[in-house]
Structures are given as structure tokens and as C-alpha cells.
Structure 1
Amino acid sequence: MPIAKLCTWFGIPRRTVYYKPVKAAPKVDPRFAEPIKKMIEEEPSFGYRTVAWLLGFNKNTVQRIFQIKGGQVRKRAVGMRPRIHAVPSVAVAPNERWSTDLARI
């Protein structure tokens, strides 16, 4: 049975059948991982920023090692926060009600 026909039957693109991951598995340098692991075993409440500061490592390196090893790193949301939309202004005549938005200044 041709792959193209099977993909049509199941409704999936053909490229998913041929997909091969390009990226290699992330590697951790043991000279960074061992002191980080030791410090986390001593003080499990420390986050990656505290560990990086105490060991004198780059915090991005420590964060990456935490993520690879399944540590306690939580990513923050990226982008604009949702705005609160207030009730529309109910003014009977002009120049009665004024408002401004200083959120982007």
C-alpha cells in the first residue's frame, strides 16, 4: 500500500511520516552539573538564580541545566498582559467625564 494513500485515508500530511528530528539531545557539562546537584541536595528550596549567584555561574546556564534535569524551573508568560476593560463611559454632555491611559508610557 502506498504511503500517500494511507496518509490520505488517515488524514495526516505525508511529511509527518518522513520526519526525522534534526536536533541532538541536549548535553550537560559535568563540571557545571555536579556542583549544582550538590547544592540542590543540600538546599532543595534554592532556585536557579540563587544557585547561580552562590556558585558564580551564569544564571542562563544553571536554568538550562535545571530544565534538562527536571528541576524546579517555571517559565514566565511572554507578551502583553490582558487589559481590564472597564464599563464604557456614560456621559450626558461633552466635557463631563475625562479619562486617560498611561499603561504604555
Structure 2
Amino acid sequence: MCWPSVAALTLLDKLITASPDYQLHYSGDFDLKGLQIAAHFFARYPGHFIPWHIDPAAYMTALQASGVAAPSVELAQLDTLPAIFAPLVATLQVHKQWTYQEGIAHLLTSFT
């Protein structure tokens, strides 16, 4: 997963500044980089960031599709994430595998 570009962050900044009612619903990969990006958005847009299918249930669904062994050094870095991600971090540390949002595509395209 790539870090958001300056152009993307600039656009998001302008959208959030335009209205205090705007919310950023973010979904990403279930790996260190994906969660670091989510944490960045959480810090950058307080009160506007909504984690979207970044939870233990979505992770377990994605893990059924595929998983990749997570290096222990990366798993240890999960402890630096904000508390909002604690339930997911605990699940990741139990299963010790990264997985990707392609495994939850059906959740991301469902509007129910």
C-alpha cells in the first residue's frame, strides 16, 4: 500500500475544512503500513476519521481469502498505534498474519 500523495492529502484537507460535517471513511490493508496510514488519518482528521471495515471481524473475513506471515518486528510496531485500533491489533497479534482489503471487497461494495 502506498502512502497518500501530497495531492490526495491536500484535497482531503480542503474537503474537511469546507465543512465540519464531512467525514472520512477509510479502509485499508490489514498490515503495518495500512494501519499506519489509518493512524495518520485518525491523527490528521480528528473528529472526521471513521474506520471503515478496519476491525477484527473484517480482518478474519479477509484472512479466509489469504494471509501472509507477519514479521515479528512489524507485529511489535503495532503497539504504537492509537487505542482505537486495539481490538484489531490484538487479533493481528494472535494470528500473526497480514492480509489485504481485496479479501473484503464484498463488504466494501455493499451498502447495507
Q: Which has the larger radius of gyration?
A: 1
Higher relative contact order (CA 8 A, sep 6+): 2
Q: Identify the structure with the greater helix proportion.
A: 2
Which has the larger strand fraction?
2
TM-score, normalised by the number of residues in structure 1: 0.29
